[in-house]
Amino acid sequence: MTWADGPDASTTELAAEAEAEPVDGLAAYPPVVAVVVTRNPGPWFEDTLAGLAAQDYPDLTVLVVDGGSTDDPTARIAAQLPGAFVRLLGEDAGFAAAANEALRTVEGATFLLLCHDDVVPEPPAVRILVEEAYRSNAGIVGPKLVSADDPGILLEVGRAIDRFGVAYTGIEPGEFDQEQHDGVRDVFYVTTASMLVRADLLAELGGFDEATGPGSEDLDLCWRARLAGARVLVAPDARVTHRETADARHRADRSDEPALAQRRVRVLLTSYSLVTLLWLAPVGVVVACVEAVGDLVTGRPRRARAAISGWFSNLLHLRSLRASRRRAQRLRRVSDGDLRELQIGTTTRLGDFLAHHLHTDDRLRQIGDRSRSALGSVSDRMRGPAAVVFLGFVALVLIGSRDFITGRVPGIGTLVPWVSGGDLLDAFGSAWRSTGLGSPAAAPPLLALTGLFGSGLLGAVGLARTLVVVGAIPLGAVGAYRFARPLVGLRGPALVAGVIYGVNPVARNAIASGRFGPLVLFAVFPFVLGRVVRLAGLDADRGASDPAPAVKSRGGLLRLAVLVAVAAACYPVAPAIFVVAAGSFVLAAPLARGWAGSWRALGIAVVAALAAAVLLFPWPLAYATSHLDGASLGFAFRPDLGLVELLRFQSGPSGASWVMWGLLVGASVPLFLAVGARLAWATRGWVLAVVGWAMVWVPEQAAPHRFALAPEAGLTLAAFGLSIALGVGASVFVDGIHRFRFGWRQPAAIIGGVALALPMLGFVADSIDGRWHAPSAGWVDTLSFTNTLAAKGQFRILWIGRAEVLPLDPVVLPDGTGYTLTRNGSGAASELLRAPQGDADHVVDRAIELARDGLTDRLGRLLAPMGVRWVALPSTQGPGGGGSLPLRGWHGVLDGQLDLARLRSAPGLVLYENLAWIPLHSVAGGREAALVPIGARDPIRAALGVDLSTAVPVVGDTASPPGIVLSGEAYDSEWDAIDGSGRQLGHVQAFGWENGYRLSRKSSVSFEFGAQWQRWAFLGVSLVIWLFVGWRWRRTRIRLPESARSGARAMRERRARRDPLWDAADDDAYWWERV
Amino acid sequence: MSAGTVRRGPILLALIVVMVAAIVFDDRGNAPATRGAGVGNVAAGPALAASDALTSSWFCAEGTSTPDGRADETVVIASVADTRIDATVTVMLGGLTPMVSRTVHVAPRREARVHLADLVVAAEPAVVVEVVGGQAAVVHEVAANGDIATEPCARGASTDWYFAAGTTLKGAQQYIVLFDPFGDDAIVDLTFLTDDGVQEPDALQAVVVPRRSRVSIPVADSLPRQRDVAVHVHARSGRVVADRTQLFDGTASDGEVARKGIALSLGAEAPAHEWNLAYGTTTSGEAGVVGVANFGPASTVVDVNVVLDGDQTIAAESVAVPARSVRMVDVAGRVPADSRYAVQVIARDVEGNAPPVVAEALDWRPMTATSPAVATAVGSSQPARRWVVALVSKDDEGVVTVLNPGTRRLTVTLHMLRASGGSRRSRPRRVDSGHVTTFDLARVGAQSDGVLVVVSDHPSTVGITLTGPGGAAVASAVPDFSYGVR
């Protein structure tokens, strides 16, 4: 082997004797030159050199090509590998340029081993690669790359690509090397991290195309080698550890994503044949657009830009592109089709898209790293007394929720079962809501939230529902802790506030009563109010002047609005409750001062509520354009609670004990003991509590015949207010002990502390039940057998009873009779947050009122056009009880109906079958067709005179007889019915409220809602809004500087190394550690 | 904020004020508030539907439509509406036999008659009449043994029905007819109060009444030769309508009364403390008794007051009725010949909490009369201000009896509704408390297809007595409880 031009000034032979040393059998070993390309090598570089030095290949020469390191690495190389040659390029050259330089420099070598400066080949690696190159007559051979950190982890065993050049390793992140990929095989390409290239092939190919690097030079080289007929192999027996230090290098060293994409596309454009490109390029552009949308949705605008620009930026380099392409195609000896088997399919492409764009492997690694870090941090914190208390609390929550965890959450109230994520998202995307008799009102974003949450848990929607229900209590407690911490300034008292909020019976009663909205309100309320307080500057103790907050979180209002929007999506009235809560600070201002901050808080809450309405667009339009329907907003209850019950939070089966008085006693202590800012916050807490109680009590007293919110909504405010006061009280107590200034206040505080323990006893007692006194199942579960019957004809179930025991969100008639219509089953989450009542829905009201007043005994016939097949009359929430609230007289009313047959059912539920039922989609043929009232003015009279119980269901593609097709949806001109030949049927209004169509001949019938595009348009607007929110969110993120983060890490490590005994001794101080 | 600006006193004072105010107002708010729905159940007994009712259904249990049937049935729909109404007469035949329906258009203020045999031939036809479009009364008339009987149809079904004046002596056949108009089966137990005490024949326990059909139970087969038979029908599952027919063939054992004709009664839904039987006459030598049945577990004493038309009065007779027994009280025997009368049965004791009873009239013309006849009717326990009388036969002479069971004098007027609108009114009559007045239908110009409405300014009880060559019948008129209420 000789140097082409001899070692020039920049090429240094470190040890001439190395070349002079005689080697046995030299002729039997083709000379190999290892070309190590480096630039600013890290401390691992010595390992790389050592690895090369340790090779058992007899004729291996090392050439280090330095691409412009700031420090000359020659000394380091000399120390580790005296026989190596060094070539300093003196410029910021990439790998391709450096390798090409080696190609020009080296002569006589049979193979070149190209490698990065962060790889360490195991001793036989070079020999194995050379042997395999000979044995398989390969042009390029790559080794198996394993992780330098953990050599048991596989990184790469060659690469495949899809049709668009995206690499695919087939290796899962963190996959262990169990020799599962240890077979020599053809691959599309191997990376430049380490590749053995036949020197003559590299020369024939003209070296690397420098325009494709960094990023795609290896793909380009291997592809051209393939086109030239050379084989590209991987020989996994040759192991090379790879440090993958690119991420650790300076950001400027890394190529940006648009450049990477551009180079990848460039390789495609140069390597594919023209015929292939004719179809591939347009498809690639479309796929890139889809990718871009996905990237935008997942918050990666740079990637989105890269996906698009990758295709179009190459147009700027047409000349060089053409030259490269000519050179590549000149080599072509095989067709694209021959290479196809080395490429991956389109489905893999989709998975790869997700992996690529969601950074699955990176993320998993990051998650792993962070998890380890977090675990370390958590294990530190676990030893703290606060953690012990909180863990005890969480343990009690888990014990109290064990039936939910081991079984399931009962389908009561609005805790109905969640259907699959896809179905929920379908319901969200649909322009037609299936609640009531159907409505074109916008679907609630709750469906999207639950759908995404369920999908995010890989379709385990039941788990998602359980997580929400079980997690609400601890989440609320954490929120209260975070709220209280800056106010009381001590961690321990803040923890008291959090735990006291968590043990309040409000959430347990919300669970026991199946009230999803109030439960979410309980969980989110502290976070929302905390943000309001911080933004308003109420949390700062700044003296009487009460200036504007000195520091405002960037984007704080946006985050608050998003939080409010999430709460509102689950409970529409939540924004108003937040405003009321903020308004309570204004009410408290005469006593607690802080006028300006209080008004600011109110203003911020109002703005956040309005912003939330914008974020939830177009859902609020459903309420704006409909008649006033308070029940659809949650005003469906008539709580029958006395003052004592309210003060004890006895709105349900939990907390019904005198021990709850302890809460009030404990919360009143700071009013006597606290001073200054703490007294102010104790006062605000109490005013908030009074406002919360008043929200329940005043409507009940002033307008007992009106409907109000679920009591848990107002009681959440009361619970939170008391917990703040208690946190303040605990801080006063701690300070008293700390300062050793004992007086009458300390005994009072101790009394308060004892009183405080009482509600916790109640919490412990309730946890014994295992499901917070909720029934073991709901009627929705009992009647779930109906869910499978829709295939024989769609139907509805009419539930009549008090709002408290009905599933979903009932309509409530003025006399208190509530009803719910569920479709094709016993009710599911896709029917949550029903649309406000429309005109057609009032037909149901009237039918029920007529039956209730004894003015008809043909209720079944009145309900038949609506497809009501069963009428359920629950008096409890489920078979196990739960809110025993029968509606007087309704059994007699329904028993007296001529077309309802009472079925056998469990105690607590009376179930009737409607003998006059007709399927939701049906055809009245023959003589019955003439009976269908078309254009009737009075829907009730129209239904009364017609018996269509023999109507034929419209099912799937089954042909239906000619007649009048009835679709039990509220009449809307946008509904169309299409027959089997694609002909649109004549649309009429049947029974005065529903859609009817004239079917003139036997045919299958399908239904379409024509205004779906409007829904998509609205959702497009909504998407734009949320994209803006995402963009703004990222822009306003506050990142700690790296120094701060590393400082925090160091502190954690120091803590971890600390003596545990010293930690234990520090526990006492922990409680009054100022935070 | 500085510590000095927050004062403790006002805070405590404000909270105390709020709490005290809450306690004060909470006390005031503890006045019972109406919560929840008040649901208007339809009583099973006959009554006009409210004027704003969308529909009203009437259930006629007894009657046959076969040539050899025991009680040839005709349904009469009497409209008091100002517009034409539609009445759908549906005959439920039970089992898989399809129902037969006919919709009858009834002219305003007129009657329509449907002879069941013209609609369907069936041995056990159960009839439902659904009236759409306005107020109407539905009665049914049965004929057999040269006699007629009439009774309003029921407005609903019930779990319990009671009859007081029955017999299974020689020459008498008694049928309890149970009708289940609903979509699920009913299971019924029958209990009898007889001369031999309480009887619950095994064969008449857990009688299944299939959905949308009726069952006729010949009582004499299980309880032969009982002079007095009171019946309690109890549906342990479902609800039924119960009629009772008694057929007398003119024979009798020695020493017993021989009677001939047919009698029809709709049962009472529940025992009551006071019963008014506004029908009774001795103008053709009729005899009559009132059966008083005590279905309760304790003995009671009832006062049986016979009230004569006019100023004559008869002293009340107190009758002891032991627990779970029935007593027949002769009333016609105490009335002068050629008189019209009404009967009040009042169960009371010193404490005023005597067990309630059921009272039913059993009248008959003797076999020596030109046309023997039998009639029964359960009394009325609830007075009303407006009553509708459906005129069942043009050949019959009718007497409308108005009894004032209240404590105040009332004024009563008869309205013969005109098809063209309005009505021809009788001269108003005043009826003192506890007194009775009667109207001859012939004198007030009643027409056979007309509808008669009796209106009083205070609640009264109205009954009708039909006599004629075709037989005799007594029945309660159909009350309109919504009159003057809505």
pLDDT band with cut points at 50, 70 and 90 for residue A11? low
A693 → chain B, closest CA residue: B22
* Nearest residue of B to residue A802, measured between CA atoms: B36
What is the end-to-end Cα distance of chain B in Å, rounded? 65
B11–A591 CB contact, under 8 Å: yes
Separation in Å, CA of A914 to nearest CA in chain B? 9
Residue B97 has a pLDDT of 85
| A515-523 average pLDDT score | 95
Count the neighbouring beta carbons within 10 Å of the beta carbon of residue A655.
26
Please name the residues between 158 and 197 in chain B that touch chain A, using a CB distance below 8 Å. 181-184
User: What's the pLDDT at A360?
Assistant: 52
Please give the ipTM for the structure prediction.
0.79
In the predicted model, is pLDDT for residue A20 greater than 70? no
Kindly state whether B49 is in contact with chain A, defined as any CB-CB distance less than 8 angstroms.
yes
**In contact, B175 and B218? CB cutoff 8 Å:** yes
A590 close contact with B: CB closer than 8 A: yes
Residue B132 forms contact with A (CB below 8 Å): yes
A 301-330 residues with CB below 8 A of B? none
The confidence score (pLDDT) of residue B126 equals: 95
Q: Mean of the pLDDT values across residues A949-963?
A: 88
First-to-last C-alpha distance (Å) of chain A: 70
Residue B462 has pLDDT above 70, yes or no: yes
Q: What is the mean pLDDT of residues B94-107?
A: 88
Structure-model confidence comparison of residues A400 and A542, the more confident one: A400
The CA distance from A19 to A5, in Å, is: 17
Beta partners for B215? B178
Q: Would you state the pLDDT for residue A355?
A: 53
Position A1063 scores a pLDDT of 42
The phi and psi torsions of B303 (rounded to 5 degrees) equal -100, 125
Helix (H) or strand (E) holding A404: helix A402-406
* Predicted local confidence at residue B485, as pLDDT: 54
Please give the average per-residue pLDDT across A580-586, as a whole number.
Answer: 95
Task: Look at A61-65, A131-135, A166-170, B127-131 and tell me which has the smallest mean pLDDT.
Answer: A166-170
> Would you state the pLDDT for residue A886?
67
Task: Say yes or no: A814 contacts chain B, CB-CB below 8 A.
Answer: no
What pLDDT was estimated at residue B31? 44
Please give the pLDDT value at position B346: 92
Could you tell me if B172 and B248 are in contact, meaning their C-beta atoms sit under 8 angstroms apart? yes
Q: For residue B59, what is the nearest residue in chain A, using CA coordinates?
A: A898
User: Cβ–Cβ of A900/B37 closer than 8 Å?
Assistant: no
Distance CA(A457)–CA(A542), nearest Å, equals 46
Contacts B4 to A, Cβ<8 Å = 676
Mean pLDDT across chain A, nearest whole number?
83
Angle subtended at Cα A1026 by Cα A1023 and Cα A1032, rounded to the nearest 5 degrees: 140
pLDDT value for A524: 96
Give A147→chain B minimum CA distance, Å: 59
CB A87 within 8 A of CB A65: yes
Q: Testing the interface with A: which of B39, B138, B180 to mutate, by most A Cβ within 10 A?
A: B39
**3 state DSSP class of A357:** helix
Structure tokens given for A784: 């779930």
Question: Chain B closest CA to A593's CA: distance in Å?
Answer: 7
DSSP readout, A184-204? -EE-SB--TTEEEEEHHHHHH
Q: Tell me what pLDDT residue A354 has.
A: 55
Counting Cα atoms < 13 Å in the Cβ hemisphere of A151 gives 8
Judge whether residue A1058 has pLDDT over 60: no
The reported pLDDT for the residue numbered A504 is 92
* Contact with chain A for residue B267, Cβ under 8 A: no
Chain A residue numbers touching B14 (CB-CB < 8 A): 591
Percent of chain B with pLDDT over 90: 60
Q: What is the dihedral of CA B456, B459, B461, B462, to 10 degrees?
A: 20
pLDDT band at B41 (very low <50, low <70, confident <90, very high): low
Instruction: Check: CB of residue A550 under 8 Å from CB of residue A540.
Output: yes
If pLDDT is split at 50, 70 and 90, which confidence band does B218 have?
very high
Whether the CB-CB separation of B162 and B234 falls below 8 Å is answered with no
Range in A170-174, A186-190, A540-544, B13-17 with the lowest mean pLDDT: A540-544
Phi (first) and psi of residue B228, to 5 degrees: -120, 130
Do the Cβ atoms of B37 and A852 come within 8 Å? yes
Residue A8 pLDDT > 50: no
**Distance between CA atoms of residues A400 and A776, nearest Å:** 13
pLDDT tens figures, A365-382: 665 566 556 555 556 555
- Rounded CA separation B124/B50 (Å): 31
H or E element, residue A560: helix A556-570
Between helices B8-29 and A661-673, what is the axis angle to 10°?
150
pLDDT of residue A21: 45
Mean local confidence (pLDDT), A654-680: 83
Instruction: Tell me the per-residue pLDDT of A403-457, one tens digit each, with 9 for 90 and over.
Output: 999 888 999 999 998 888 888 999 999 999 999 999 999 999 999 999 998 888 8
Give the E-state strand segments of B286-394 in sequence order. Answer: 287-294, 300-308, 317-321, 325-330, 341-347, 358-365, 373-378, 384-390
How confident is residue A87, by pLDDT bands cut at 50, 70 and 90? confident
What pLDDT, on a 0 to 100 scale, did the predictor assign at position A165?
Answer: 86
Tokens of A949: 């119980």
Residues B124 and B213 sit within 8 Å (Cβ to Cβ): yes
Confidence of residue A736 (pLDDT cuts 50, 70, 90): low
Beta carbons of B6 and A676 less than 8 Å apart: yes
Query: Which of B55, B159, B211 should be substituted to probe chain A, the one whose Cβ sees the most A Cβ atoms within 10 Å?
Result: B55
Residue B315: other Cβ atoms inside 10 A: 8
- C-alpha distance from A687 to closest chain B C-alpha (Å): 8
Does the distance separating the beta carbons of A642 and B30 come in below 8 Å?
A: yes
pLDDT bucket at B4, cuts 50 / 70 / 90: very low
Q: Contact B125/B118 with Cβ under 8 angstroms?
A: no
Q: Which 594-623 residues of chain A touch chain B by CB within 8 A? A: 594
Higher per-residue confidence, A994 vs A545: A994
pLDDT at A1067 over 50: no
Q: What is the C-alpha to C-alpha distance for residues A349 and A290, in angstroms, rounded to an integer?
A: 13
Is the predicted pLDDT of residue B23 greater than 70, yes or no?
Answer: yes
pLDDT (mean) for A241-250 = 65
Q: Does B37 touch chain A (CB under 8 A)?
A: yes
Q: Do A593 and B30 touch (CB under 8 A)?
A: no
Read off the pLDDT band of A695 (50, 70, 90). very high
Q: Give the pLDDT score at A2.
A: 47
Taking contacts as CB-CB distances below 8 angstroms, the residues of chain B near A902 are 182-184, 238
CA dihedral A849, A850, A852, A853 (to 10 degrees): 110
Residue A910 vs residue A301, higher pLDDT: A910
Distance between CA atoms of residues A257 and A362, nearest Å: 15
The answer to whether B427 touches B438, Cβ cutoff 8 Å, is no
The answer, as to whether pTM is greater than 0.80, is no
**Do β-strands A32-38 and A60-66 pair in parallel, antiparallel, or remain unpaired?**
parallel
Task: Please report which confidence band the pLDDT of residue A82 belongs to, taking 50, 70 and 90 as the band edges.
Answer: confident
Size of interface A-B (CB pairs under 8 A): 161
**Residue A938: both structure tokens together:** 């009075």
Whether the Cβ atoms of residue B81 and residue B453 lie closer than 8 Å to each other: no
What percent of chain A is modeled with pLDDT above 90? 37
Name which residue leads in pLDDT, A549 or A233: A233
Q: For A5-59, list the strands marked E by DSSP.
A: 11-13, 32-38
Q: Which of A752, A727, A275, A209 is nearest to A495 (CA)?
A: A727
Helices A445-456 and A461-488, packing angle to 10 deg = 100
Q: What is the reported pLDDT for B11?
A: 84
> What are B355-402's pLDDT values in tens digits?
899 999 999 988 888 889 999 999 999 999 999 998 766 566 789 999
The pLDDT score that the predictor gives to residue A258 is: 82
